[in-house]
Structure 1
Amino acid sequence: MMDDNKLLKFALDAGEIMLASGAETHRVQDTMHRILSVSHSTGVEALAMSTFLIVSIPSNKSGSLTLTRGVYNRSVNFEKICSVNDISRAFVSGQITLGQAARRLDEISHTSAYSSMARIVSSGVACGGFTMVLNGSWVDGLAAFVFGLIIGVLLSYSGKTKIPYFFSCLIGGFIAGAGSVLFHKFVPTAGTDMIIIGSIMPMLPGMTMTNSIRDIMEGNFISGTSKMAEALLIAFAIAGGVGFAITALGY
C-alpha cells in the first residue's frame, strides 16, 4: 500500500520545482493533482499560488492529511519543467515506483542547467545582440555587451546572497543608464537609447507577465494579479534606476 505522506511530499517536490522554474500556476496544480490521484482517493486537493503550495489527501489511518510549502526562489528553466512532467507521467502510468520517481526528482532539483560564468556571458551576448537587432551600431552593441556582463554578475551575485530581485533590477537599471551616458560622453556617436534598451533585456519580466495573463485567463485571479504586480514593480524598478542615472549625470 502506498504511503500517503511520501505521496504528498513527492507531489510538493514536483510542484516546487515547476513553480520555481517558471511554470504557470494551473500547470503546477494539474501536475500535483494527477500525482495525488494515484492514491485512488476521492477528495484529493492541490492548490498552487505564487509563493506557496498546498496538497491534501484523505487518509483512512489518520483522517485528512495536508502539507504546505513556501516557494520563494524563482527562475526560468524549461528543461526542469519538462523533466518533472516526464517523471510525473511515468509515475501516474505505473512505469516507475514512488521511490524511483522521488529519487529522479531529487536529482533534478540539485542539477543546474548552466554555470554562473555561462549565465554571465549569455547576459552580455543577449544585451549586445538585442542592441544590434534594434539597429544599433557595432559600437553600441559592444557597449551593451560590457554592461550586460556587469549586470549578469550583479544578478548572479544577488541570487546567491538572497538580495531582493526588485533591488537588483533597480541597481541594474542604474548601471545601464549611467554606463550608457558615460559611454556617450567618450563616444559621441554612440546611441544611448539603443545601449540602454539592449542592456536591460536580461532583467525584463516578460515570463512573469505572460504567466500572470495565462493564470488570469485560467481563473487563478490571486496568482495572476500578484504576478502582474510583481512584473510591474520590476519594470518600475528598472525604469527608476535608468531615470535616476540619466538625471544624476545630467544627460
Structure 2
Amino acid sequence: MEQFLEEQYDIMDVSLLAGKIMLESGAETYRVEDTMMRMAAAYGIKESHSYVTPTGIMFSIETEEPTKTKLIRISVRTTDLKKVAMVNSTSRRITNGELTVSQAYRELKEIHTSDVTFPLKLRIAAASIASGCFLIMFQGSWIDFISAMVAGGLGFMSVVYFERLIPIKFFSEFIAALIVGILSFLFVHTGLGMHLDRIIIGSVMPLVPGLLITNAVRDLMAGHLLSGLAKGAEAFLTAFAIGSGIAVVLTFL
C-alpha cells in the first residue's frame, strides 16, 4: 500500500513539474491542464483534476483512498516556446508508454533547468531587424530603416537589462519605451530620420505583449475566464507602460 501511494505521489510530481514548466514558459492555461491530465491518465490514474491560474497550479487525483491534492506557486513567467514544445514531446512519449515515471521526471527536470534560449546578441539583432521590417510594413520610408533598427534593438536590450536589475513588473517596459522615444526624437532632430511617429511605432513592436494577448483570448474562448482576464490585464498594463514611456517623451521633448 505504501509503495502504491508513493507511486501516485510520483505521478502527481511529474504532472505538476510538466505544468510548471509550460506555465512559466508562456503556454495557455487550457493546454497546461490538458497536458497534466493526459500524463496522469497515461500512468493509470483514472480520474484527475487540474486547476491552473497564471500564478498557481492545483492538481488532484481521485482513488479509493481520500483525494490527494498538491499546490505549487508560479512566480516567474516568461516566453520560451521551445520548452513548451519539449514538454509536449515528453508528454507524447509518456502517452505512448515509452517513459517510466522516474524517467519522465528526470527528463522534465533536465528541461526545467536547461537554458534553451537564443544568445542575447542574437535576440537583440532579431529585435533590430524586426523593428526595421515593422517600419516598412507601416509604410515608413527606407531612410528611417536604420534609425528604427537601432532604437528597437536598444529598446529590447533595455528591457532585458532592467528586468534583471530591478524586478518590478512593468518598470522595464516603461524605461525601454522611454529610451526608444528619446532615441527616435534624436534621430529625427539630427536628420538621421524623417518620420518620428513611424520610427517609434516600428521600434516598440518587439516590446508589445503579443503572446499574452493571444493567450488571453484563447483562454477566454476555452472558458478559462479567470486566467483569460488575468492575462488580459497583464497585457493591458504592459501596453500602458509602453504607451506611458512614449507619452512622456512626446510631452517633454
- Tell me the TM-score normalised to structure 1 length: 0.91
Report what 2:111 is aligned to.
108
Please state how far the C-alpha of 1:18 moved relative to its aligned partner: 1.1
Match of 2:102 in 1: 99
Cα separation, 2, equivalents of 1:162 and 1:8: 35
Match of 2:218 among 193, 197, 214: 214
Aligned partner of 1:65: which letter?
Answer: K
Counterpart of 1:143 in structure 2 is 147
Deviation at 1:69, TM superposition (A): 1.4
- CA distance 1:158–1:55, shift in 2 (3 Å): farther
Aligned twin of 2:21: 17
Secondary structure in structure 2 of the residue aligned to 1:68: strand
Pairing 1:243–2:247 present: yes
1:122 & 1:16 partners in 2: Cα distance?
Answer: 28
Taking only aligned residues, the RMSD between alpha carbons, in angstroms, comes to 1.9
Q: Does 1:5 align with 2:9?
A: yes
Matched, 1:82 2:85: yes
Quick one: structure 1 residues 52 and 134, their matched pair in 2 at CA, closer, same or farther if it must change by over 3 Å? same
Superposed CA deviations along residues 188-240 of structure 1, whole A, max 9, x for unmatched, are 75110111011111111111111111111111100011111111111111111
Q: Secondary structure at the match of 2:125?
A: helix
Contact 2:159 2:175 in 1 (8 A): no
Q: Is 2:66 the partner of 1:72?
A: no
Identity of aligned residues (%): 35
Question: Aligned equivalents of 2:11 and 2:166: distance in 1?
Answer: 30
Equivalent residues in 2 for 1:162-181, closer than 5 Å: 163-181=167-185
SS of the residue corresponding to residue 247 of structure 1 reads helix
Q: 1:121·1:152 contact (CA, 8 Å) conserved in 2?
A: no
CA deviations on 1:114-164 (whole Å, 9 max, x unpaired) are 122222222222112211232322331211111122122222223434623
Instruction: State how far apart, in whole Å, the 2-side matches of 1:9 and 1:188 are.
Output: 56
Paired residues, number: 248
Aligned residue type for 2:167 = I
Change (3 A) 1:64 1:189: closer
Partner Cα distance (1:10, 1:40) in 2: 13
Tell me what 1:56 maps to.
Answer: 60
Secondary structure of the residue that 1:96 maps to in structure 2?
A: coil
CA distance in 1, matches of 2:101, 2:244: 49
Contact 2:124 2:153 in 1 (8 A): yes
Match of 1:29 in 2: 33
Pair 1:139–1:41, CA change in 2 (3 A)? same
For the 8 Å contact 2:83–2:116, the answer to whether it is kept is: no
Displacement of 1:93: 2.4
Q: Is structure 2 residue 197 aligned with structure 1 residue 193?
A: yes
SS at match of 2:116: coil
Letter in 1 for 2:109: D
Q: Structure 2: how far apart are the matches of 1:19 and 1:117?
A: 26
Structure 2 counterpart of 1:124, from 110, 128, 136: 128
CA deviation profile, 1:58-109 (whole Å, cap 9, x unmatched):
4567x33222112232222222212111101211221111122122212222
Asked if the contact 1:120/1:156 (under 8 Å) is kept, the reply is no
Q: Secondary structure at the match of 1:44?
A: strand
Q: Structure 1: which amino acid aligns with 2:83?
A: K
Q: Does structure 1 conserve the Cα–Cα contact (< 8 Å) formed by 2:61 and 2:67? A: yes
Structure 2 residue ranges without an equivalent (≥5): none
The one-letter code matched in structure 2 to 1:147 is A
